A and B are shown apart, each in its own frame.
Chain A
Amino acid sequence: MTATIRIPTPLRTATAGASVVEVQADTVGDALAALEQAHPGVAERLLDGDGNLRRFVNVFVDDEDVRFAQGLATPVRAGSTVSIIPAVAGG
């Protein structure tokens, strides 16, 4: 499946400035792995030592927070948009 990953401003230093990256993936975990392939160094900024999403990283698939779904196992459909968003905002 081809999905689009939206890259937030603080992460663009790791994606050579790209704000959008297209990847082939079936799940969010796959998508992040593909992103790491394309831009080595991204994964350690999003995932902790155990491979879980860092607590201040939010990931949405087509506007649904993956923590309301199946986390990194959340399926990604063809044409899905995966948004990575810093959690620390608001209030």
Chain B
Amino acid sequence: MIQGLQCRECARPAQVGAVHVCEFCFGPLEVVYDRERQRRTVSRASIEAGPATLWRYADLLPVLPGDAPRVDLGAGFTPLVRAPRLGAALGLRDLWLKNDTLNPTNSFKDRVVSVALSAARRLGITTAACASTGNLAQSVAAHAAGAGMDSCVLIPADLEEAKIMATAVYGTRLVAVEGNYDDVNRLCGEIAGEHGWGFVNVNLRPYYAEGSKTIGFEIAEQLGWALPDHVVAPMASGSMLVKIDKAFRELVDLGLVDEASWTVSGAQAAGCNPIAAAYKTGAGTIRPVKPDTVAKSLAIGDPADGYYALDVLARTGGAAEDVTDAEIAEAMTLLARTEGVLAETAGGVTVAVLAKLAAAGRIDPDGRTVAVISGHGLKTLPVLRGQAGPTHTIAPSYDAFVEALALSAAEPALS
């Protein structure tokens, strides 16, 4: 149901292909859908009859014509769960978590990669590639392996070891670049288009970015086809936040949910906060920064969708905040202990910012709030070093156990 591509800045049209920027003004190209056809054919029932993956929303995604099968490891339709204990800790009475740690490679990136590489195949592309802060690297390598595609993944050399190993294992060409993510991204911008490869977040970006809408679609469907009052999402490029808002607007436009108002707020690390800083100072321009944070998956100093993220914050009445590395680790621990969800640093950023916004009165304590937990904590365990370890170390004896845990002999045995 896609009609073509169009520049988001100057509205000039472009043909469907492996192309991401407007030839005239370098603005981002976006997918244009046949909205009338969607209106006629898409219903709650048609979606509910689909698979328990993001592909249940295929009619709302950039599916290109052709016979090549989807590239699909089963991403999406992750749990949306109530978070009453975290909510109580933060003073929020109706808090939910969108648990995207439970994707095939344990981050939301599986959504965008599945959509991008499915499009890539139908464009005749056989090599998948990306610039990655880590999660995308794993996802591209895994999806390419699962689809029998070649792949080449470029990462900053200082990435977390877990992410490097969990990418390399899929047999990709893994290129560690001696620089930060923005250096890697820039390099990929120069490489993309030269070798006929599909860089999911460069020349396939119009398709890729649409994949993040499925987070918003799922939140609404899982709330019984209703929109939440508030969403808090992490911001790296800012694309996910922008697309969650877009998803809500599309659902309203298609009549799949009732008209409602919602706010979307964005979370960044203090060590890489170009969007939050622009929001807080009210500056109209985003100043790139050189990232220095443990939240490496959010360490994009020059965010491609920063301006659009600011637009969404302003239009929905949301806010942006940033938090320190110590606050990030603390929030990871709080989330794990209150809700049994181990999130990576980005999830710590989201929870810590949620706490900050709630404390500042920026979130209605009685409103329905959804926090997007975008990646799994096993990817970034070392940040918890010194905070998560054995609570007692004992000799292998019953007496040592009772003594160490200060258990009373009078406590009743299980019957």
Contacts and interface: CB of A to CB of B under 8 A. Distances in A.
A67 B288 contact: yes
B305 interface: yes
Contacts of A38: none
Contacts of A91: 201, 236-239, 300, 303-305
Contacts of B9: 56
Contacts of A89: 20, 131, 185, 188-189, 192, 199, 201-202, 205, 304
B131 A90 contact: yes
Contacts of B201: 89-91
Contacts of A67: 287-288
Contacts, number: 89
A73 interface: no
Residue with the highest number of chain B CB atoms closer than 10 Å, among A55, A57, A67: A55
Interface residues of A, number: 26
Interface in A22-71: 45-46, 54-58, 60, 63, 65, 67-68
A74 to B, nearest CB: 14
Contacts of A75: none
A56 B9 CA distance: 9
Given A86-B21, A90-B300, A91-B300, A57 B190 contact: no
Contact of A87 (B26, B188, B194, B238): B26
Nearest to B132: A90
A8 B20 CA distance: 12
B186 interface: yes
A18 to B, nearest CB: 15
A9 to B, nearest CB: 4
B23 A10 contact: yes
Residue with the highest number of chain B CB atoms closer than 10 Å, among A6, A57, A89: A89
Nearest to B112: A91
B190 A88 contact: no
B87 interface: no
B24 interface: yes
Interface string B1-43: 0000000010000000001111111111000000000000000
Interface of A: 6, 8-11, 13, 45-46, 54-58, 60, 63, 65, 67-68, 83, 85-91
15 contacts: A8-B190, A11-B23, A54-B26, A55-B285, A56-B9, A57-B26, A67-B287, A85-B189, A86-B189, A87-B304, A88-B21, A88-B26, A89-B201, A90-B300, A91-B238
